[in-house]
Structure 1
């Protein structure tokens, strides 16, 4: 249930806010983590709609906004379908309302385009309704995602020994951490035993090097970051059940050892900022292959889908790139075939084996993005 309906007192508050919204056309926004969509009362006559932003369809962490727009609701009910929706991922924002007891649910792009998710078609609405919806979506997405800052600026926002809240954008679980060191990215430790336990829960009960998109909250600001969950290196907070520190990367931050940008961390930073699709669409074929390998290594189906444009699963327990990518000029190519050496652990055997992956990439025109159309593990 929506938090405004928690008890009778809050129901009265909700009604007051709804009346205010009718007069001011303002949206009420709430961010929370839960696994199911709220239940709706019949609102077809009131024009009440709800926006929900989630980083992925299965994410528990979401931001909600309720607003009233009778004109938009009528257009959604009466409007016909338009062009096919061909993006590699469904919109991260959904629009819902009740029509005679039946919930209607659509996807909404950042530009205010409405998508029939089951048919994969856009819905025709007026330009004024689209602009109004675009404004609503921008507000909710800004509340949901983090600010993307270069490492040099993020380092100033999160100075050494500062304490902050870290939120996993998938599970919605949060814990407190402190930056202890780190000149190229933030070396962070959980503050307490409870914080360490939450971090471990985020990773399914075992410490892991897997990268996860996170929000870092401090002094009214929310930054987009990427963390892993493996204790290593120096320790500084006794009694927190975390032997070492873990790392949080931001835009352009590099690893301490290689002094190079970690591709997997950068993908997660953009995911935490709500910019995953835009980021992937600008990558070279070689960078796209690195994202695919990271997705295979972590079993990240959304990343696999955004690199290939297709829903698919890859059953491996681990995968790492061994060879350097043979980069060459592809500016005038529409197709590309290349092989990359990897180390991989298949699903059943426990031993790591070396394999070659044959990639075939395509794009529709020289101005459009690349897709990995096939990846064959030899």
Structure 2
């Protein structure tokens, strides 16, 4: 905790040194930028920036047009003169309370981009390869886990693990915090986290299921749990686990950029991975914001999926991707179905979006 505060203070002090002294006091034209991992996350990072080169005046004077945004594609929120705006992953700025998009000049957009990146650098962490991480998070080394959705944190010790870190909560209190993150029930579901070791932060992913042996007395944790970093794999595989990989992308702030560059088949894969992890936000990031089918809420886990490769007769702007999958329902029972995903993009070269899903057509 102290290390995180120290890093933030150093970062803010560095920004402050580049400003006139008057900028340190909160001015009415300050631009406040806030970043979080999802719209519902209470864990946010907020930094106030001094208005430079009349950015506020130029921003508010921009041409506008009627348009709405996908709340799950929001990258940051900006507060300017008590008005709230949302900045999405496509570099578009919208007024939050009105269906209105601002047509920004390149230099105004570039300045907003610079501010947002500055806040993201504080909120997220880099996806460092496991081979490097384990030189810092050595066996018997201590670290702090920060859950990116809730902001809750607890201390752990790495006890073992070669392809990933096998860790245990240090104390009974740490165990209680971890269980609270999982709503009071142990679960194999993955979560995006940061791991802090001696002031260095790493993007990572954890599950919440005690298993195997435990060796820390008094922590009331029956075993250990696993933390994966970039390039980590499970004990039984040499390939990274798709769910852990997606959560590491979230923890590094890179999931949206990955989705933007995904092929239709890859995009459907991210959707199904998010469905398996019950990550509604990540699912909706792959879509254009349409209402998801109610049947998805009955699925406990996706056991397997196989994309049926479409024919060569695929349009440049619209495509169907059929998928055979098996899943376990929340109320029990195994099911095998074929789903059809419909994807669209506005122009060649832009990102694909899922615009409809037909379950078991």
Instruction: Tell me which interval the TM-score lies in, with the shorter structure as reference length.
Output: 0.7 to 0.9
- Give 1:153-164 correspondences, 5 Å limit: 153-164=132-143
- The 3 A distance-change label for structure 1 pair 177 and 229 is same
User: Is the Cα–Cα contact under 8 Å of residues 69 and 94 in structure 2 kept in the other structure?
Assistant: no
Partner of 1:341: 325
Determine which of 160, 165, 180 is the counterpart of 2:159: 180
Secondary structure in 2 aligned to 1:322?
A: strand
- The 3 A distance-change label for structure 1 pair 158 and 325 is farther
Partner of 2:302: 320
Q: Does 1:59 pair with 2:38?
A: no
Partner of 1:264: 243
Partner of 1:375: 357
User: Is the Cα–Cα contact under 8 Å of residues 341 and 356 in structure 2 kept in the other structure?
Assistant: yes
- The 3 A distance-change label for structure 1 pair 311 and 174 is farther
Determine which of 76, 91, 103 is the counterpart of 2:74: 91
- Cα deviation, 1:159-211, whole Å, max 9, x if unaligned, reads 22211111011100000111111111111111111111100000000001111
- Cα deviation, 1:289-308, whole Å, max 9, x if unaligned, reads 33222322333221121122
Q: Does 1:191 pair with 2:170?
A: yes
Partner of 1:352: 333
- The 3 A distance-change label for structure 1 pair 185 and 95 is same
Mapped partners of 1:167, 1:84: distance in 2:
36
Secondary structure in 1 aligned to 2:286?
A: helix
- For structure 2, list consecutive stretches of 5 or more residues without a partner in the other structure: 1-13
Q: Aligned Cα RMSD in Å?
A: 3.2
Partner of 2:215: 236
1:282 Cα offset (Å): 3.0
TM-score, structure 2 as length reference? 0.83
Partner of 2:5: none
Q: Does 1:80 pair with 2:63?
A: yes
- The 3 A distance-change label for structure 1 pair 226 and 110 is same
Moved more, 297-306 or 207-216: 297-306
Secondary structure in 1 aligned to 2:74?
A: coil
Determine which of 182, 185, 209 is the counterpart of 1:203: 182
1:115 Cα offset (Å): 2.8
Mapped partners of 2:37, 2:113: distance in 1:
18
Secondary structure in 2 aligned to 1:61?
A: coil
Moved more, 53-62 or 113-122: 113-122
Q: Number of residue pairs matched?
A: 341
1:278 Cα offset (Å): 1.0
1:132 Cα offset (Å): 3.0
Secondary structure in 1 aligned to 2:158?
A: strand
User: Is the Cα–Cα contact under 8 Å of residues 285 and 361 in structure 1 kept in the other structure?
Assistant: no
- The 3 A distance-change label for structure 1 pair 21 and 370 is closer
Mapped partners of 2:70, 2:118: distance in 1:
22
Partner of 2:4: none
Q: Does 1:144 pair with 2:123?
A: yes
